[in-house]
Chain A
Amino acid sequence: MAELLNVKPTRMELLNLKRRIQLAKKGHKLLKDKQDALIMEFFTIYDEALNLRRELNEKMEVAFEALLRAQLSAGNLRLQEAALSVKPNREVEIRKRNIMGVPVPLIEAESFKRAAAERGYAFVSTSPEVDAAADKFEEVLDLAVRLAEVEETLKRLAKEIETTKRRVNALEYIIIPRMEVTVKFIKQRLDEIERENFFRLKRVKALIEARSQAGA
């Protein structure tokens, strides 16, 4: 049972409350629509994230195998030397974009894939296996950047859905019922006053009539 709001039972308050209930119901409907739309968006992105995640796991496995081969063929020390002389890859650009009023990141990145000559290590001290490993890890990096965008979007949407759900429920189960109960209370109270008044008038009328008969 919803508790009553602390208001005086007057006609003014009744009108006020009725207006507020209407507003709350409108808000509730809007929020509910928003929630539905968010959830639909969420599922599309969830599928994408799941697929990318699986792809990343596979690519990562392949990349580590390639790395192992490189370590075997070039030697760990030489591989580390080569890694030190690798030139930094392209940078990424992070922008913002809106999904249903939720700010989500949008990552703009060119592919990290490079030709072996662009990487910057010396060919004399390395082997084709090293090239292959670097190649595979560049692929992983590409994928990771894409996944970063999708997963972050997913997280933010999830957060937004949570808060929206909370608001919808608060309106539906607490705020609106409370106001409705209060409206009912005020109506009953007003009716009560009405009846009291009516009875009082009757009583006064009876008294007056009795007195005028006694006088006559």
Chain B
Amino acid sequence: MKVAVMGDPDTALGFKLAGAHEVYSFGDGPLEIERLRNKLRELIEAGDVGIILITEPLAQKIEMPDVKFPIILQVPDKSGSRFGEAQLREIVRRAIGVELKR
């Protein structure tokens, strides 16, 4: 199954060099966000995409669909990670009821 990447132009370029199967780059602006939303839906419905990597800033801009397949993973972009660990902590807090420091 394919690995798809959605990110800003630089991230897209990097993953394209690595040979990710489908790479889409998005800029800022309302039209781009609309395009992002449509593309994400399209990728989810495509069926042959197994993993979608999406940069954290882009993921923050749209509501992430709650699907079991494909797997959607948020990756940091060139400005570094801001939400990755916080999201993990949030999952733990919801499941266990207390926050953990590790």
Residues in A lying within 8 Å of B, measured CB to CB: 39, 42, 46-47, 49-50, 53-54, 56-57, 60-61, 63-64, 67, 70, 79-80, 82-84, 86-89, 91-94, 105, 107, 112, 114, 119, 130, 133-134, 136-138, 140-141, 144-145, 147-149, 151-152, 154-155, 157-159, 161-162
Contact = CB atoms under 8 A, between A and B. Distances in A.
A86 B19 contact: yes
Contacts of B13: 67, 79-80, 83
A69 B27 CA distance: 22
Given A57-B80, A107-B50, A83 B16 contact: yes
A130 B17 CA distance: 8
Interface residues of B, number: 36
A64 B92 CA distance: 30
Nearest to A86: B19
Interface string B70-85: 1101011110110011
B51 interface: yes
Nearest to A114: B19
Contacts of A84: 16
A87 B19 contact: yes
Contact of B95 (A136, A148, A161): A161
A63 B5 CA distance: 15
A136 B70 CA distance: 25
B88 A137 contact: no
28 contacts: A39-B96, A42-B96, A46-B100, A47-B102, A50-B85, A56-B76, A57-B76, A57-B80, A67-B10, A67-B17, A79-B17, A83-B13, A88-B19, A92-B1, A94-B70, A94-B71, A107-B71, A119-B19, A133-B14, A133-B17, A134-B17, A134-B18, A138-B19, A144-B73, A145-B3, A154-B88, A154-B91, A162-B94
